[in-house]
Structure 1
Amino acid sequence: MRNIHLLILFLLSILTSIHYVVVTSLHVKYLPGFEGPLPFALETGYVSVGESEDVELFYYFVKSERNPEKDPLMIWLTGGPGCSSICGLLFANGPLAFKGDEYNGTLPPLELTSFSWTKVANILYLESPVGSGYSYAKTPRAAETSDTKQIHQIDQFLRRWLVDHPEFISNPFYVGGDSYSGHIVPGVVQQISLGNEKGLTPFINIQGYVLGNPITNLNLESSYKVPFAHRMGLISDELFESLEKSCGGIHINVDPSNAKCLNDLQAYDNCISEIYAEQILLPNCPVDYVLGDIPQTFRNIKTGTRRELKEFSGNDIPSLPPPSCFTYRYFLSAIWANDENVRRALGAKMELGKWNRCNIQNIPYTFDIDNAVPYHVNNSRKGFRFLIYSGDHDMMAPYSSTEEWIRDLNYSIVDDWRPWMMSSYQVAGYTRTYANKMTFATIKGGGHTAEYNPDQCSLMFKKWIDGKPL
């Protein structure tokens, strides 16, 4: 059996256009903070990518708990750009989570989740772009990245990882992500497809993709924030009508001479400034990151005010928000991921500096994709299936803006708007299916990522990945 495995690797090395593969991996049996051996298969490692192999992308790989030999393989990309894939592994859809106990100076404890998507799929949680999580660059030039650059590096990562893991080459493959990865995931799918057509090896058995509350077109999402605030009762009918009249329905890049519109936008800002934009029903607690130079293609419109703890050190108890805050666990993740024993157990490079859950402000990043819709169009033409879901209480990427660009694709509806259920008595959200193999679903009461309603999102994913209607 071992000889057959070596022969497969040898043949792949001849066929592939990749001259050599640099993959270092570690099978993790125990994790600091979790009591006892891990009851699932976890692998971590680095894959060298880039023109001169000068970028080291870190990954976590969790095998499916159902049937890893046949279940789909999915790569999960966290947004930001620059947020660690721990956001997926320990918050959104992975097998572990922080207990949320009040921090007492020791390592934050972990516990098993009931909602992990790895119950039905093999998932690669990738730290991309370079500078995210434990990923790093060997030179200052290699640290410079962009939307399109990370798309190419993710494709390169996947083909190299599959050469090192040939047992997963035939598994159905999907790309998944949320938030800003809405700019990246469709491009990765297109890049994989183009590479397959060019004969790059190994062939990736790409079937489709999954996106949650995707940032798709910043101008579009921004223009829908005022209507969303009105729908949710955050601003009055009178203010909304005045905004529509004085601003002409345009709430971004407003003419500085339009005093009435600017005054109305200030009134709007006063109404929503204390709203936690990622889930408008939750308290507006401090967050653990500082927004970097996100492209300001729009002025005037605001989403809410983030309470940023800029000086949080990772062990600074007084600066932690109250444990009742949803964001409390984010601060626990910094304490955990910066612990030397954790880094050693994960096989992360020990010389790396401070780990930040979202390293947005420290990555030299170029935003060179303004609108991801053309990628969706191209992928639809190739026949890929895809699931787009939106938490309906997210103000960062309002569900109504997602509905708008989906509507503009102009595909016929094959299963019209209807509720989908958690049980016989509980509506989980609403869904609609299109002729281009696209399913759109809302998560009732949901926020910007799956972690706000993990049980609903888990059920949705399981049904969709198994080819069943919601």
Structure 2
Amino acid sequence: MKAIILIATTILLGAQLAQSKLEGKPFINDTFISDYINVDSKDQLFFMLFLSRNNPDKDPLVIWLQGGPGCSSEFGMFTENGPYTVKFDRLKNPSIETTYNNYSWNNFSNVLYLDQPLGTGFSYPTNEFSYRFTERQLSDDFYAFLLGFLEKYPDFNNRPIYLAGESYAGHYIPLFTKRLYEEQNPYINLAGIAIGNGWVDPFYQYPAYNTFALENKLVNKPKSLLIEFGMNLCQFMMLMEFPLVSALMCDASQMIILGNPIYPNFNIYDIREECNFPSMCYGEDGLEFYVQGKKFRSMVNNTKHGQWVGCNSAVHFALTLNNQNNYGVYLKNSLNAGLPVLIYSGDKDFICNWRGGEAWTQALTWDHQDDFNSKHLSDWGQNLKLESNNKTQGGQVKSYENFTFFRIYDAGHMVPTDQPEVAFNMMKEFIAKGKLDSVIDNQANQSLKSSVNSESIMLQ
């Protein structure tokens, strides 16, 4: 049955390849498409697609996936890398402002913000049995969504597609990449993936809490030794495949750093800030008021559906047992096949900190693991004149062939929010080159180019 469906879908996609230019609705000065795509006979996933401000008919498609698990991609759209940001002021009773984002990623690409898994954002489950619990269910939904999207919007057939996201998207993106690699669908052109402050491989990321905390003076040496002991037990239980026990041990060790889990000692998403609100640390930013408002819902043709769910605890709970799994291993075949992979981390984030990202990328087994690990972090973006701070470098990068790790200075968990210019230039360069070049690499490339030009002149 699956083969028949795929064959029928492929024939339909081929028949629609030559359709005309994309059409969407106006959103102030941008054009967008909002729609639902069926993933099975009952359930649908919601998305908003902002067309490129540059060349929507030729620019690549970036699919943005929010973390959580269970948080809506409208967070990324309106607070990170979308065409407009939403600001809220209670004193204006309440006044909600949308501000043009000069560093929106749709300056150079078409950006699709997907609400998944079911139960997230505007993607409502049919009933409580529609929540997803397994990797296979998540993978099936995403692949069905992509097939349905390409069938309905065939202009994107064979267009370069980039999967990007942050936090728990460090689970989603490797999983979906593996699925697309296995399917080898000729109409799906996966051109690269980018994971920001991702939760990818807990075995290496849990102990990195201790490393990061000690370096940033969040704990003293005696506490650090206690945490190290707890994390060693945590890793042992992971190896013994006792996920619930290992999670309890890891979290208990983490609590030594955080203190009160309701009001931690610092903002877990940005250690420079205090945690002034329970659990998530951030207060009301007006996004829920704006997205729930009649004006916005009418604009996206979503007035007949239920309430928008920013972060759904039911989705989070349903995927609890997957939290301890290693998803980095799913990148091995794609890396070996040459797929560009970018792992970036804001260096002020605690919960998915850059030391953990560095650790799991070095531990990842692939054909060029030793070559990648032989590289050292080098300055990136020497000629940047950042608006947000007085530094000329955006961070440090380590890259070999198609695999890049990027530490971003002075950014928390949400890199495009804290360093929009760096995130903008990072993604633009990654799409153009398939990697990030350090200052040293750029100088070497420039010298080589000058040498080639000189030899050419001499030959003439």
Give the TM-score range, shorter chain. 0.7 to 0.9
Contact 1:82 1:131 in 2 (8 A): yes
Going from structure 1 to structure 2, the CA distance change for 1:404 and 1:364 (only over 3 Å counts) comes to closer
Paired residue for 2:135?
147
**2:49 touches 2:112 (CA, 8 Å); kept in 1?**
yes
Matches within 5 A, 1:51-450: 52=41, 54-102=42-90, 104-106=92-94, 108-196=96-184, 200=185, 203-241=187-225, 243-244=227-228, 247=230, 249-250=232-233, 268-270=257-259, 273-286=264-277, 306=280, 327-329=283-285, 332-352=286-306, 354-361=307-314, 365-366=318-319, 367-368=321-322, 370-409=325-364, 410-413=369-372, 416-421=376-381, 423=384, 426-435=392-401, 437-450=402-415
Q: Is the 8 A contact 1:12 1:163 kept in 2?
A: no
Letter in 2 for 1:28: K
Q: Give SS of 2:168's match.
A: helix
TM-score (norm 1): 0.76
- Give the direction of change, closer, same or farther, for the CA distance of 1:274–1:306 in structure 2 (3 Å limit): farther
- The whole-number CA distance in structure 2 between the counterparts of 1:79 and 1:334 is 17
Contact 1:69 1:167 in 2 (8 A): yes
Aligned partners of 2:432, 2:65: CA distance in 1, in Å? 21
Q: Does 1:28 align with 2:25?
A: yes
More helix by percentage? 2
How many angstroms does 1:466 deviate by? 1.2
In structure 2, how many angstroms separate the alpha carbons of the residues matched to 1:376 and 1:443? 22
Structure 1: segments with no counterpart, 5+ residues:
1-10, 19-24, 31-37, 288-304, 308-325
Paired residues of 1:93 and 1:115 also in contact (CA < 8 A) = yes
- Partner of 1:375, secondary structure, is helix
Structure 2: which amino acid aligns with 1:440?
F
The structural deviation recorded for 1:147 is 3.5
Q: CA deviation at 1:433?
A: 0.2
Q: Give the 3-state SS of the residue equivalent to 2:377 in structure 1.
A: strand
Q: How many angstroms apart in 1 are the aligned matches of 2:13 and 2:157? A: 16
Q: Name the CA distance, whole Å, in 1 between partners of 2:336 and 2:88.
A: 45
Aligned counterparts of 1:417 and 1:397: Cα–Cα separation in 2: 19
RMSD over aligned CA atoms reads: 3.2
Instruction: List per-residue Cα deviations over 1:79-116 (Å, max 9, x = no partner).
Output: 11111111111112111101343453345121111111
Secondary structure of the structure 1 residue equivalent to 2:269: coil
Identity %: 24
Cα distance in structure 2, aligned partners of 1:262 and 1:173: 36
The residue number in structure 2 matching 1:15 is 11
Question: How many residues are matched?
Answer: 397
Deviation at 1:426, TM superposition (A): 1.4
For 2:253 and 2:85, locate their aligned partners in 1 and report how far apart those are by CA, in whole Å.
Answer: 43
1:266/1:462 CA distance change after superposition, 3 Å: closer
Greater mean alpha carbon deviation, residues 101-110 or residues 179-188: 101-110
1:298 aligns with: none
Unmatched 5+ stretches in structure 2: 1-6, 15-21, 238-244, 386-390, 439-460
Distance 2:173 2:253 in 1: 36
